[in-house]
Chains A and B, each alone.
Chain A
Amino acid sequence: MLEIRNLHASVEGNEILKGINLTVKAGEVHAIMGPNGSGKSTLAQVLAGHDAYEITAGSVRFLDQDLLELPAEERARLGLFLAFQYPVEIPGISNAYFLQAALNEIRKSHNLPELDAMDFRELLNDKMELVAIDPRFAERPVNEGFSGGEKKRNEILQLAVLEPRLAILDETDSGLDIDALRIVSDGVNKLRSPERATILVTHYNRLLNYIVPDVIHVLVNGAIVRSGGKELALELEEKGYDFIREELVAP
C-alpha cells in the first residue's frame, strides 16, 4: 500500500528526514516511535503533503501512485488521512458542514454520488456513536473551544467518517487521559480492516497497550534505526531511547 524509499526532506535548509525506508501493507498497523525531534511528525506531515517541507531525495508510492507528485487534497481523496497532533480551530464552520464538504469532495473524486444533508447526518450520527462523541458536537465550530482530548476525538470522528485506506495518527495519544485514550483506541480498533492500514506516530508506548501494532519502528535523527515486533516497545519502555542511541554510536 505504502512504500517509502530513501526519503530525504528538509525545512529551511535543515535536513530532517535522512533516508527513510518503510513498507506498509494493507491490513497492517505500524507504530513509529522515537524521541522528540527525531522527525516523526515531519514524516507524517510530508506524507500528508504539507508544502513547508522540501523533498530532496527518495520516493513514496501509495496505492500504486507517486504520492509526492500529488497535492495534499488529492492524497486525501486517494485515501490518505492524517490525524493532526495539533488540530486547528475553524471558527464559524460547524463540524457537520466541514465533514460533509470533505466527504463529498472525496466521493466526487471516486465518481460516487454526493450525500445530501439528510443522508450525511444519518452517517454522521452513526459515526459519532462509534467514537462516543456527544451528538451536539456536530453543530459546534470545528475544534473551536474544544479541550485537547476533544480535539483528538474529533480527529478520530473524521477518520471514521472519511474511511481512508491509510490513517496516520500523529501523537494522537498525547494529552489524553486514560478514558479518552481508551475511547480513541476503541475507535481506531473498530476501523481496522484487511483493506486498511494505520501508522501510529507516538512518543510513548502507552497507546500500544490499546492498539497492538504488527511492526514497531524506531526513528532516531531522521532515519529508522530499528524495526521489530511489539516486544521492541517493551525494550524501549525498559531502557528508554538512549540504549538505541548508544547502540548507534557503538561500532
Chain B
Amino acid sequence: MTEMLDTAQPNKAHYLSAVDTLRRGSYPAWLAQVRQAGAARFSETEFPTRRHEDWRFTNVAPIITTPFRPLTGPEDWNVSVSDLESVLFGTAGWTELVFINGYYSAALSRIGSLPKGVVAGSLADAISSGNKLAEHHLSVRRESGNVFNALNTALLQDGAFVHLHAGAVLMFPIHLVHVTTGLNEPVAANPRNLVVLGRDAQADIIESYVNIGAGAYFSNAVTDVALESGARVHWHTLVNESEEGYRLGSTRVNQDRNSAFRSFAITLGGKIVRNELTTVLDGEGAEATLNGLYLTGGEQLVDNAVAIEHAKPHCTSWIGYKGVLDNASSAVYSGKIKVRRNAQKTDSRQLNRNLLLSDRATVNTKPLLEIFADDVKCTHGATVGQHPKEVIFYFRSRGMNEAMARAMLTYGFADEVINQIDIEPLRRRLDRAVCERYSPI
C-alpha cells in the first residue's frame, strides 16, 4: 500500500508548466533565481501523505488530485466592489488592499490614511519598481518550507507588500483581502505577501481569505513577516473559505529583539484548511502571543500548525488556540515549541482547548516541547471536552433550558478569543458571526 502511495504521487506537470510560462516572461534576474530555487524544491519534494508526521491527520489528497489551474498572470475575473460588501470594512481611515486570485486590484482597493514612511500595495509593483527591501527579503530566505510553500515560491508573482519605516506607527489597520474565485474552473491561487516593520514601528494588520463563486478552488498563500527590533504588530488572519474551498496558508515570522507579534488566527469556513504559523524569536526580549479560534461543521477539516522557535534568551511566548467542532468535522492542532540551547530564561506556555458539539466530530491535538536549554519555564496542555453537566444545571436553575445553556456556553467559549481583539469593528463583526452561529439570543 505504501508503495502504491509513492508511485501515486500526482503529476506536478501542470504546475511546472506554469513555472515554464513564467520563465519566458521578463522579470529581474534575482526573481528568476528565487523562483528557480522554489521550483527545484517543489520538484524534488513529495506531496505529503498521511505517513508524514506533520500531515498525519490532514489528508491533502483531494487538493493534489484536483487539476487546479495555476495562474501566471491576472485575468478578467469580473469582481466588483459589491461582491466584497460583506468582506470590506469601509471604515474611515483604513487601508484595504484587495487581491483577486493573488493579484492586486487597484480598482477594488482603497488607500486610507497612512503616515509617512509606510508603503502598502502590490508586491508585483514593488518588484517591478526595483524595491531593494522586497528583493532583499525575498531572496535572502532560501526556500526551506514544505512542498506547497515551494510551489508558491516557484510561482511567485504578486500579493501584498507592506513596509513600515523605523518608528512609523499606523493609526488605522491595513486590511489585506484575498479573494479566490470558484467561478468557472478550479484555479490555484498563490498569493505571496511580504510585511516588514522597521525598528519600533507599530501596525495592525488584518488578512481575510474569502471566495466568490460556488466551485472548488485552491488558495496556497505564503506570508513572510519581518519585525525589526522593538517593532510591534497585531496580526489577524480570518479564514472564511467556501464549502468547496481548499486553503493551505503559511505565515512565517522572524522577530528581532524586543519585538512583539500578537496574532489571532480565526477560521470560520473552508473544506480543508491548514494554517501554518511559525515564528522565530531571534532577539532577546522578543514576545509572541498566538491566539487561535476554529469553528468547524459539516465535514470540514481545519488544521492549525503552530511553531515557535526560541533562538535567543529572555523571550516569552504564549499560544492559546480554541476550537468548537460540530457534525462530522475534524480539527488538528499541533504546537511545537523549540528552545535552543542558549535560549535561557525562556518563558513559554501553550494551551489548546476543544469543545465537541457532536459525537462524530474528532480532534487530534499535539502540543510539543523540544527544550535544549536548562533554565526555562515551559508549560503545555490540551483539553477536549463537552459542556459540564453542573454548569448546564446552573443555567437551568436560572430559568434557561438546556439548549439555551449549551448555545450560550458555546458562544462564551468562542467569544473568549474574540474578546481579546482590540480593533473594534473587527471584534464586533466576529462577535456577531459567533453569536449568529451558536447563540439563541
Contact = CB atoms under 8 A, between A and B. Distances in A.
B397 interface: yes
Nearest to B405: A73
B398 interface: yes
A162 B397 contact: no
Interface stretch (A8-16, A102-110, A125-133, A214-222): A102-110
Contacts of B414: 92
Interface in B356-398: 388, 390-391, 393-398
Given A91-B416, A102-B398, A72 B408 contact: no
B397 A49 contact: yes
B408 A101 contact: yes
A168 B413 CA distance: 30
B394 A92 contact: no
DSSP class of A's interface residues: helix, strand, loop or mixed?
A: helix
A109 B436 CA distance: 24
B260 to A, nearest CB: 25
B401 A92 contact: no
A231 B405 CA distance: 43
B405 to A, nearest CB: 9
A48 B415 CA distance: 30
Contacts of B390: 88
B397 A72 contact: yes
A76 B391 CA distance: 15
A103 B398 CA distance: 8
B186 interface: no
Contacts of B412: 90-93, 141
Contacts of A245: none
Nearest to B418: A92
A101 B407 CA distance: 12
Contacts of A102: 395, 398-400
Interface in B398-441: 398-402, 404, 408-409, 411-416, 419, 441
Nearest to B394: A88
Nearest to B440: A101
Given A101-B441, A162-B398, A93 B409 contact: yes
B408 A49 contact: no
Contacts of A73: 395-397, 399-402
A82 to B, nearest CB: 5
A72 B396 contact: yes
A106 B390 CA distance: 20
A49 B396 contact: yes
A153 interface: no
Most interface-central of A77, A82, A91 (chain B CB within 10 A): A91
Contact of B409 (A50, A72, A90): A90
A111 to B, nearest CB: 14
Contacts of B419: 92
A49 B388 CA distance: 17
B408 A71 contact: no
A40 B391 CA distance: 21
A75 B400 CA distance: 10
Interface string A220-235: 0000000000000000
Contact of B399 (A51, A92, A162): A162
Most interface-central of A76, A87, A101, A109 (chain B CB within 10 A): A101
Contacts of A98: 398, 408
A84 interface: yes
A141 B413 CA distance: 11
B131 to A, nearest CB: 44
A158 interface: yes
A91 B413 contact: yes
Contacts of A51: 393
A99 to B, nearest CB: 8
A90 B396 contact: no
Contacts of B400: 73, 101-102, 105
Contact of A48 (B397, B401, B402, B413): B397
B400 to A, nearest CB: 5
A104 to B, nearest CB: 8
Interface in A18-55: 48-51
A102 B408 CA distance: 11
Nearest to B388: A88
Interface of B: 388, 390-391, 393-402, 404, 408-409, 411-416, 419, 441
Given A73-B397, A105-B398, 9 more contacts: A49-B396, A71-B401, A73-B399, A88-B391, A92-B411, A93-B408, A97-B408, A102-B398, A162-B399
22 contacts: A49-B396, A50-B393, A72-B397, A73-B397, A73-B400, A76-B397, A77-B399, A88-B388, A88-B390, A90-B391, A91-B412, A92-B411, A92-B412, A92-B413, A92-B416, A93-B411, A101-B408, A102-B399, A105-B401, A106-B399, A109-B399, A141-B412
Interface of A: 48-51, 71-73, 75-77, 81-82, 84, 87-88, 90-93, 97-98, 101-106, 109, 141, 158, 162
Nearest 5 CB-CB pairings of A with B: A92-B412, A72-B396, A93-B412, A76-B399, A102-B398
